[in-house]
Structure 1
Amino acid sequence: MLLKTFGWSFAVTALGLVAAVFYGGWTAFGVVAILTVLEISLSFDNAVVNAGILKKMNAFWQKIFLTVGILIAVFGMRLVFPVVIVAISAQLGPIEAVDLALTDKDRYQQLVTDAHPSIAAFGGMFLLMIFLDFIFEDRDIKWLTWIERPLAKLGKVDMLSVCIALIVLLIASMTVATHAHQHGGAHVDKAETVLLAGIAGLITYLVVGGLSSYFENKLEEEEEREHEEEEKAARAGKSPVKLAGQAAFFMFLYLEVLDASFSFDGVIGAFAITNDIVLMALGLGIGAMYVRSLTVYLVRQGTLDDYVYLEHGAHYAIGALAALLLITIQYEINEIITGLIGVILIGASFWSSVRRNKRIAQAGGPGAGEKAEVSSGV
Structure 2
Amino acid sequence: MTNGSQSVAAPTRGTLQYFKWAFIVTIVGLALGVALGWQMTGTVAGTLGVFFICAVLAVLEISLSFDNAIVNANKLKDMTPAWQRRFLTWGILIAVFGMRIVFPLLIVVIAAKVGPWQAMVMAASQPEEYARIMRDAHLPIAAFGGTFLMMVGLSFFFDHEKDVHWVRWLEQRMQKYATIRGIEVAIVLSTVLVFSHFLDPVASEVFFKSAIWGLLTFLLVEVLGGLLDSSQEMLQAGAKGGLGAFLYLEVLDASFSFDGVIGAFALTQNLFIIAIGLGIGAMYVRSMTIMLVEKGTLTQYRYLEHGAFYAIISLSIIMFLQAFVHIPEVITGLGGATLIGISLWSSIRSNRVAEQVAE
The TM-score normalised by the length of structure 1 is 0.85
Q: Which digits, 9 at most, give the CA deviation of each residue in 1:41-75, with x for residues without a partner?
A: 00111101111001112333222222111110111
1:68 aligns with 2:90: yes
Which of the numbers 279, 286, 292 marks the counterpart of 1:298?
A: 292
Map of 2:71 onto structure 1? 49
The equivalent residue for 2:110 is 88
Cα distance in 1, alignment partners of residues 348 and 104 from structure 2: 40
Distance 1:60 1:7 in 2: 22
Q: CA deviation at 1:3?
A: 4.7
Measured against aligned partners, the alpha-carbon deviations of 1:132-165 in whole angstroms (never above 9, x if no partner) come to 1112113111000011111111222110111111
Question: In the aligned structure 1, how far is the partner of 2:330 from the partner of 2:342?
Answer: 18
* Alignment deviations for residues 326-353 of structure 1 (CA, whole Å, 9 cap, x no partner): 1101111011110111011000100000
Are 1:239 and 2:243 matched, yes or no?
A: no
- How far the C-alpha of 1:97 sits from its partner, in A, is 0.9
Match of 2:10 in 1: none
Paired amino acid for 1:77? M
Verify: 1:171 aligned to 2:200, yes or no: no
Match of 1:265 among 259, 264, 281: 259
Among candidates 166, 169, 188, match of residue 143 of structure 1: 166
Q: 1:99-138 alignment to 2 at 5 Å?
A: 99-138=121-160
Give the SS at the match of 1:332: coil
Relative to structure 2, which stretch is displaced further, 350-359 or 207-216?
A: 207-216
Q: What is the TM-score of this pair, normalised by structure 2?
A: 0.90
> In structure 1, what residue type is equivalent to 2:165?
K
Q: Residue 200 in 1 paired to residue 213 in 2? A: yes
Deviation per CA, 1:98-128, whole angstroms, max 9, x where unpaired?
1111111111111000000000011000001
**Is 1:362 aligned to residue 353 of structure 2?**
no
The SS at the match of 2:305 is helix
- Relative to structure 2, which stretch is displaced further, 258-267 or 147-156? 147-156
Alignment pair present for 1:349 and 2:343: yes
For residues 346 and 214 of structure 1, the distance between their equivalents in structure 2, rounded to whole angstroms, comes to 33
Q: Which structure 2 residues correspond to residues 12-51 of structure 1 after superposition, within 5 A? A: 12-24=25-37, 25-51=47-73
* Deviation (angstroms), 1:217: 6.2
* Counterpart check, 1:157 vs 2:180: yes
TM-aligned CA deviation for residue 215 of structure 1: 5.0
Residue 196 of structure 1: how far off its partner (Å): 1.3
Residues 143 and 214 in structure 2, CA contact (< 8 A), matched pair in contact too: yes
Distance 2:121 2:69 in 1: 33
Task: State the superposition RMSD in angstroms.
Answer: 1.7
Q: CA deviation at 1:212?
A: 2.6
Describe the shift of the 1:147–1:239 C-alpha distance in structure 2 as closer, same or farther (beyond 3 A). Answer: closer
Residue in 2 aligned with 1:229?
A: none
Q: Deviations for 1:208-238, whole angstroms, at most 9, x for unmatched residues?
A: 123334555677xx6xxxxxxxxxxxxxx53
Q: For each residue in 1:343-370, what CA deviation from the matched residue of structure 2 results, as whole angstroms up to 9, or x when unmatched?
A: 11000100000000000000007xxxxx
Structure 2 letter corresponding to 1:152: Q
Tell me if structure 2 keeps the 8 A contact 1:50–1:255.
Answer: yes
The answer to whether the 8 Å contact 1:62/1:296 transfers is no
Distance of 2:302 and 2:231 partners within structure 1: 26
Gaps of 5+ in 2: 1-12, 38-46
Deviations 1:256-300 (A, max 9, x none): 100000011101111111111010000001101110111111000
Q: How does 1:207-286 map to 2 (within 5 A)?
A: 207-214=220-227, 238-240=235-237, 244=239, 247-286=241-280
Closer, same or farther: CA 218–92 of 1 in aligned 2, 3 Å: closer
Whole-angstrom distance in 2 between the partners of 1:288 and 1:239? 32
Are 1:66 and 1:293, in contact at CA under 8 Å, matched by a contact in 2? no
Return the letter of the residue paired with 2:145. Answer: G
Q: 1:86 touches 1:97 (CA, 8 Å); kept in 2? A: yes
Is the 1:48–1:298 contact (alpha carbons within 8 Å) kept by the matching residues of 2? yes
Query: Residue type of the partner of 1:154?
Result: Y
Distance (whole Å) between structure 2 residues aligned to residue 57 and residue 238 of structure 1: 16
Which structure would you say has the larger Rg?
1
Write the deviation string for residues 80-110 of structure 1: whole angstroms up to 9, x where unpaired.
1111111111111111111111111111111
Distance 2:226 2:298 in 1: 20
2:80 and 2:109 map into 1 onto residues whose CA distance is 38
- Distance (Å, rounded) in 1 between the aligned partners of 2:190 and 2:139: 18
SS at match of 1:244: coil
Return the letter of the residue paired with 1:320.
S
CA distance in 2, matches of 1:307, 1:152: 21
Separation (CA, whole Å) in 2 of partners of 1:271 and 1:21:
19
Count of equivalent residues: 336
Distance 1:65 1:286 in 2: 17
